Amino acid sequence: MSAAAEPAVCWLILNGKSAGDDAVREAVAEMRCRGVWLAVRVTWESGDAARWVADAIEAGASSVVAAGGDGTLSEVAAALAAHDLPAARLPALGLLPLGTANDFATAAGIPVDPMEALALVACTGAGPVDLLRIEADGTEHWCANLASGGFGTEVTVETDEGLKKLLGGLAYLVTGIARLGRIEPLPVRLRGPDFAWDGGLIALGLGNGRQAGGGQALCPDALVDDGLLDLTVIPELSGELLATVGTLVKEGQRAALERSAVRARLPWVELESGEGAMTLNLDGEPVQARRFRIECVPGRVRMHLPADSPLLGQPSGRLRGDGQSG
């Protein structure tokens, strides 16, 4: 369908790995039958998403839908944020979850069924959501969901499958340390408004969303519309290790996180590695730097989310299907 004949109301930017997905094809066909004007563009290599987003803006699209996993969502969101336009003049962002983990969609309550996900975009208005802007040794990046560091980005630890199922993501981390003792804490300095922390950490979460790595809820209380990032630091556990593992078994992952973690909610934070470059994983993209500045940019884009999404803290007015807030 040619965008030149009539501007597309909605552009679907589809990760090339899912180009042959029959359920997506059927959902697109059904939405077109319902009168929703959909243009489909497929990404194949780096830079494709940014090019399609630029074309969608030029064509006057009301929405762009990232069809893929958390990395695709972040890539499309970053492409929108890179344009020197306010959120109200940019197409709204939608998500059709097609990834392996779909961490943002899971936390946000976005349906994984392609038809339901596209119907959400068509029938629900878009409201403002925050993004994380990261400066890594002077280079700018954007992150829609969660930036993580330490365990999981630097080290792979083998853990029994039964223990993974029993204890969950954080337990996988702590139990791996307890069993194998192969993780060296990363010395870092963190600074933000009325916040400072200096020490060795084994895991770090900087959340706009709540979870990463297939369900590891490093920032379980994060909201996407509060203008703040959620910071979680899991320091080297030393003598606390056995008590933390005991809490995992008796009370669950969140209780163990509360026991061991340093938590803060900040508009920005600066991170400096004490030993050369460190790696932050930005929605699946590893970025190495000695110094990072992570800033929450309030309302940088508008996004189609369920009105009762757990990630929303403000009344959304997301009722109409015209791509505008109600």
Residues with a catalytic annotation lie at: 285
Contact present, 107 and 273 (Cβ < 8 Å): no
If we measure between CA atoms, which residue out of 259, 154, 253 comes closest to residue 210? 253
Contact present, 201 and 246 (Cβ < 8 Å): no
Contact present, 67 and 18 (Cβ < 8 Å): yes
- Pairing status of strand 146-150 against strand 278-282: antiparallel
Helix (H), strand (E) at residue 189: strand 186-192
Q: How many CA atoms lie within 13 A of 270 on its CB side?
A: 9
Angle at 134 between CA 61 and CA 174, to 5 degrees: 115
Q: Which two tokens stand for residue 78?
A: 């970053």
CA distances from 186 to 146, 291, 307 (A): 19, 13, 40
Distance CA 70, CA 146 (A): 9
- Rounded to an integer, what is the distance from CA 119 to the centroid of its chain? 22
Contact present, 236 and 200 (Cβ < 8 Å): yes
How many helices (H) and strands (E) are present in the chain, helices listed first? 8, 15
91 by Cβ neighbours in 10 Å (0-12 / 13-18 / 19+) ranks as: buried
Helix (H), strand (E) at residue 164: helix 161-180
Contact present, 197 and 233 (Cβ < 8 Å): yes
Other residues' Cβ atoms within 10 Å of the Cβ of residue 46: 8
